[in-house]
Structure 1
Amino acid sequence: MISFSEENSLLFITVDLDAIVANTSRLKASLRDGVKLLAIVKSDAYGHGILEASRAVLSGGADYLGVVNVKEGLMLREGGISAPTVVLGAILPAEAPLVVSKNLDVTVFNRKTVEALANACQEQNSNVGVFIKVDTGMGRLGVFPDDAIKFAEYVGSISSINIKGLITHFPIADQEDKTFTHKQINIMNSLIGSLREKGFELPLNNCANSAAIIDMPEAQFDMVRAGIAMYGYYPSRYVSRSIELKPALTLRARVMSVKRVKAGTPISYGCRYRPERDTIIGVVPIGYRHGYHRMLSGKAYAIYKGKRVPQVGTICMDMCMYDFGPDSDISDYEWITLLGEEGSEAVWADELAGYAETIMYEILTSLSGRIDRVYIQGGEVVDFKEANCFALNNIISSTR
């Protein structure tokens, strides 16, 4: 039974599952025939909810799911999601038995992991799928290109391990100059060609992220990895808007205290904000512990009745303040939009990222489990995830 009610909430996130389905479907439709789509649902699906988002992207045509660690893979399996899933980060040798028993694919780039997987397969009389991670320029995980063929031959010598393809990561595909990314593509083409000449099938080579999916069809190979674009964002201002995307996550909060203050009244820690005229200040129950970054202090905006309202003063742990202006009709417990759109105005994660001198990914993944989450599909509430750790009524009590 779905128990969410706005009447009993001070603060909540809404995730539009239809938007995730539509974004995924449009990305999939942009691919060449036969190219598969791996949907990245790591980090709680970029803050959207790993189980709910996974079901949505699969409905939108995703063929594979991508997680960062074994625990996330287990969450999918325990949540009843059996779709092909690859662990994109490192795994511990001790996790190899779980990888095999839960039918997870993994990326490999060292012998210890391969040996652990081989032992687990032998013990369970089973097999496992792997992707060989090649570091073509990210400087993170992966074997270097010069070592890739020898490493692939070693992995390929173990009959219980099925090499599904090579995988690499693009660090600057979202920038205007694609020269470096094209060098990475050329390295991948060369390695794939050499290995296929040696008899490796490699049916699912992949390297394209959201930026490359949109702007670089030459990077599609056999499968692509969609992340931020599925959740409604273009990776950077340099990425074309050739595919229509809609942000899926919105954030709303009540104004739990409204007061008229005199010009010069200090607001919040450090007394950094003092209004130049008499005005109305509203206190909202969100702060940096919820993921509303302190770096946004004095820079961000909310929307009230279709108009922008500036955040003022230092953002606190559990609360922050907005200046509604001297003539506002705002009253206690009315709703404002902190992330989303009202009328012709909108505030999205990429805008907040600019104020906080970070990226939209961090804005979205920072929004913590301490915020209620409501899932909408077909205009109806289909799921509700209550805030964990501390109930929101504790925030109310702390302000009395």
Structure 2
Amino acid sequence: MTSWLEINSFALMRNVRTVRDKIEDGVGLFAVVKANAYGHGLEIATEAFWRAGVDGFVVSEPNDALFLVEKGYRVPILLLHPPQANELWRLLEHKIRLAGTSPSTVADIAAAAVRHERRAYVHLELETGMHRSGVTIQEAREIISEAQSPKSPLVIEGLFTHLCAADNPDASRSQIEQVANFLFELQQRDMHIPCTHILASESVEAYPDALFEAVRVGRALYGAVAEIQTDLALTWKTRLCRIERIKRGDTVGYGKSYTAERDMFVGTIPVGYSDGLDRSLGNTGFVLVRGKRCPIIGRVCMNDTMIDLSSVLYPELGDEVVLLGRQMADRITPQEMAEWANTIDYEILARLSSSLSRIKVK
């Protein structure tokens, strides 16, 4: 095991309670666990969230939905992406909630439900400004009207949309109003949709009047939203596998991209871009060794990375190295690493390789 992730299950559970405190009683909390639970590991994360009492899970892959069913989690599981036709029957069999992302997707779901003599529980995604997926308001009217027929296998259980700019109040309010106005229209026609959900981690506190029946929360549950003050639950660790003293003027790594300005100790860690460490962190990022920040020098390699050990007194082979998380008094957050890599913390977490061992602690 060259590097590994330690996942603090207690922190994940505390984060659920912290988010609960931000929303009204009776509002459902759906834990978003796509992308291998934001890199934390689907099995470890969902177990913690289940124990903390979440009201449902949101996934993007059919296999993840079926895995959660096999684990025995008796809460709604929403699949965001359209499955392949040959996957639908198993999803229908286990009452996986399916996202209606287009009229053709809804038609495919209905046809499969008829063929397999099952009811299909659908959450219609409304296109309100993202222009990525979803049905228009007019298309939603038609789908909901058709679902009222006694012969329809569809149960329109939910409506949802995605805020395209949660930090832009005008844009977000416009999207929220589109959904609210449509719900009012449906109520006027005696049509009731049980579960509407719009808000996510960044918007739960910003728009408390738009909680509706549920919220979909991802980043905040993993401690990646500073404003909500949840705990970082992940630590990425490895150990020094090589130490070399180089001279001033020596170069390090592919392309000779780093030149030593003085005599120095260089350490190698057995972690690279194949593990999910962003290649752009070469000569910009840092790791922690004995609580000291050590710059990444040279280019990040496929399986190895070199670091400047100048700040560490008498480094030794086998010294623990932290790439993400806390070590002694310091810590490196996904947001900080994302700034160094000129990306977003979502990508930092989602790119953590599934081959990394994930160890539950606490």
Which of 190, 202, 207 lines up with 1:211 in the alignment?
202
- Report the more deviating stretch, 202-211 or 96-105: 96-105
State the match for 1:282 in structure 2. 267
CA distance in 1, matches of 2:317, 2:43: 35
- Give the counterpart of 1:148 among 115, 140, 147: 140
Moved more, 64-73 or 178-187: 64-73
Partner of 2:197, secondary structure, is coil
- Aligned match of 1:388: none
Q: Displacement of 1:92 after TM fit?
A: 2.7
8 Å contact from structure 2 (residues 294, 311) kept in 1: no
| Cα pair 2:4 2:358 within 8 Å, conserved | yes
The answer for unaligned runs of 5 or more in structure 1 is: 1-8, 235-239, 378-400
Report deviation, 1:162: 1.4
Q: Is the 8 A contact 2:291 2:327 kept in 1?
A: yes
For residues 21 and 329 of structure 1, the distance between their equivalents in structure 2, rounded to whole angstroms, comes to 39
Report the CA distance shift for 1:98/1:267 in structure 2 as closer, same or farther (over 3 A): same
Q: Normalization by structure 1: what TM-score? A: 0.86
1:168 matched to which residue of 2? 161
Matches within 5 A, 1:86-165: 86-157=78-149, 158-165=151-158
Quote the sequence identity (%): 29
* Other-structure match for 1:27: 19
Would you say the 8 A contact 2:249–2:262 is kept in 1?
Answer: yes
Is residue 85 from structure 1 mapped to residue 83 from structure 2 by the alignment?
no
Q: Check if 1:341 corresponds to 2:337.
A: no
Q: 2:31 aligns with which of 39, 43, 46?
A: 39
Give 3-state SS (helix, strand or coil) of 1:258's partner: strand
Shift of 1:328: 2.8
Cα shift readout 1:333-360 (whole Å, capped 9, x = no counterpart): 1111111112221111111111111110
RMSD across aligned positions (CA): 1.7
- What amino acid does structure 2 have at the position aligned with 1:167? F
Question: Alpha-carbon deviations, 1:168-207, whole Å to 9, x = none?
Answer: 001110x2x3110000010010011111222222111011
What is the Cα deviation at residue 96 of structure 1? 2.1
Structure 1 residue 164, shift from structure 2 partner: 1.2
Q: In the alignment, what sits opposite 2:193?
A: 202
Query: What CA deviation, in whole Å up to 9, does each residue of 1:102-128 have, x standing for no partner?
Result: 220111133443333334333444312
Q: Secondary structure at the match of 1:182?
A: helix
C-alpha distance in 2 between matches for 1:69 and 1:196 = 33
Distance 2:207 2:14 in 1: 21
**Distance between the aligned counterparts of 1:82 and 1:250, measured in 2?**
30
Contact persistence 2:292–2:311 (CA under 8 A): no
Any gaps of 5 or more consecutive residues in structure 2?
none
Correspondence 1:183 to 2:174: yes
Task: Determine the structure 2 residue equivalent to 1:237.
Answer: none
Structure 2 residue 353 is the aligned partner of structure 1 residue 362: no
Per-residue CA deviations over 1:33-67 (Å, capped at 9, x if unaligned) read: 21101110111111111122112112222101001
**CA separation in 1, counterparts of 2:302 and 2:24?**
48
- State the Cα deviation string for residues 301-352 of structure 1 (Å, max 9, x = none): 1111121111111110100000011773101111111111122211111111
CA distance in 1, matches of 2:136, 2:65: 27
Q: Report the alpha carbon displacement of residue 215 of structure 1 after superposing the two structures with TM.
A: 2.1
Shift of 1:69: 2.6
Distance, in Å, in 1 between the alignment partners of 2:318 and 2:301 is: 19
Q: Deviations over 1:66-106 (max 9, x none)?
A: 01132221122233333210111122333221221122011
* Corresponding residue for residue 60 of structure 2: 68
Letter in 2 for 1:320: T
Q: Could you tell me how far apart the structure 2 residues matched to 1:319 and 1:327 are? A: 20
- 1:314-333 residue pairs with structure 2 within 5 A? 314-325=299-310, 328-333=313-318
**Aligned partner letter, 1:277:** R
- Give, in whole Å, the separation in 2 of the partners of 1:41 and 1:292: 21
Which residue in the other structure is 2:293 paired with?
308
User: Does the CA-based 8 Å contact 2:35-2:350 persist in structure 1?
Assistant: yes
Equivalent-residue separation in structure 2 for 1:84 and 1:13 (angstroms): 29
- 1:247 aligned to 2:239? no
Counterpart secondary structure, 1:37: strand
SS of 2:49's partner is: helix
CA deviations 1:272-300 (Å, max 9, x no partner) are 11111111000000000001011111111
Match of 1:49 among 20, 31, 41: 41
Q: Which of 248, 258, 261 in structure 1 is aligned with 2:246?
A: 261
| 2:293 and 2:311 in contact (8 A); partners too | no
- Corresponding residue SS for 1:210: coil
Determine the C-alpha separation between the residues in 2 that align with 1:108 and 1:326. 54
